[in-house]
Amino acid sequence: MTALASLTGIVVSAVVAAILTVYFEIWTTSGDAPGTRGLSAQSETWWDVERDARVVRATSTEADRTAWSFRQADAWGDMDAMVAGGGLHAGGLRVRVTLMNFSKAPAVITSVRAKVLRERAIPAGPVFRCGGPQGGVAVSRIRMNLGSADRAAVEYDEEKVLGQYPTQQIQLSKQDEPAIFDIEIRAGRVAYDFAIEVRYTQGRHKETMLVDDSGKPFTLAPDVDERAPAYRCSVNEGVWTRS
């Protein structure tokens, strides 16, 4: 009985596989697979530790916790814990956006901007700062300012403004390489939850997609004066010091 059941299972699996193969061959030649229309996006928040200062405004409660307690050699993990506990990144951050087109119809990116979801209260706890310029500051080609009127991504050549991003056509065709771009985002005068709004055309349709931070909004609070009291990390020693 065991051998017969195993043989039956193999036969059934083979039949199901054949049906699925035929099904996918049909939609591959005649149209899009269900659920694959439009673009797919991934995002990654990052800082260049030798050029950017990662700054977190912590909550008083989270700053007093001992769970992360200034772990040596893990300042980045401490800051992750502060943000998870209600703290906010401040000043600026970088977001790497990866776009993929799984549809047969080419997609053309028309604009990228920040979409504010809500205003946030600024945490009242201490400030934590890690990294910062060391011998120079990198010039970002794509920048976005949450304090500007339209919060649109702007493309630069060094310090020369070229126009709203993208200044040249970006077309994504099926099975092409993904479109990957980094945006340097600067804070406004208040703290925001926001997403990155990507507008594009596909065929005769105008589409809009919101890119978030792995299922949650990006957050950014106003910058903090570099001379203000703060805890600072030593990248080499991996410890925090009060200044």
Tell me which residue has tokens 């050699």. Answer: 73
Separation CA 184–CA 142 (nearest Å): 6
β-pair type (127-131, 231-233): parallel
Convert the pLDDT of each residue in 159-218 to its tens digit.
889 999 999 888 887 666 788 889 999 999 999 999 999 999 988 899 999 999 999 999
Residues 22 and 47 in one domain: no
* Residue 236 pLDDT: 62
* Structural domain span for residue 212: 37-242
Whether 20 has a pLDDT exceeding 50, the answer reads no
Separation CA 110–CA 108 (nearest Å): 6
Convert the pLDDT of each residue in 50-96 to its tens digit.
778 899 999 877 655 544 455 556 788 888 888 988 999 999 999 99
Residues 149 and 222 in one domain: yes
Residues 89 and 115 in one domain: yes
Residues 16 and 124 in one domain: no
* Residue 71 pLDDT: 58
Residues 138 and 188 in one domain: yes
Residues 130 and 230 in one domain: yes
* Residue 14 pLDDT: 40
**Is residue 110 within 8 Å of 45, Cβ to Cβ?**
no
Total domains, the chain: 2
Chain-wide mean pLDDT for the chain?
A: 78
Whether 242 has a pLDDT exceeding 90, the answer reads no
Residues 232 and 173 in one domain: yes
Question: pTM of the entire structure?
Answer: 0.77
Separation CA 45–CA 194 (nearest Å): 13
**Is residue 98 within 8 Å of 16, Cβ to Cβ?**
no
Structure tokens of 112? 């990228």
Closest listed residue to residue 63, CA positions, set 90, 92, 93, 86: 86
Residues 134 and 227 in one domain: yes
Write the DSSP symbol of residue 4.
H
Residues 164 and 63 in one domain: yes
Residues 18 and 132 in one domain: no
What 140-144 contacts at long range (C-beta under 8 Å, 24+ apart), as own/partner pairs, is 140/94, 140/182, 140/183, 140/184, 141/182, 142/112, 142/181, 142/182, 142/183, 142/184, 143/183, 143/184, 143/185, 143/186, 144/112, 144/113, 144/114, 144/183, 144/184, 144/185, 144/186
Residues 20 and 45 in one domain: no
Residues 16 and 53 in one domain: no
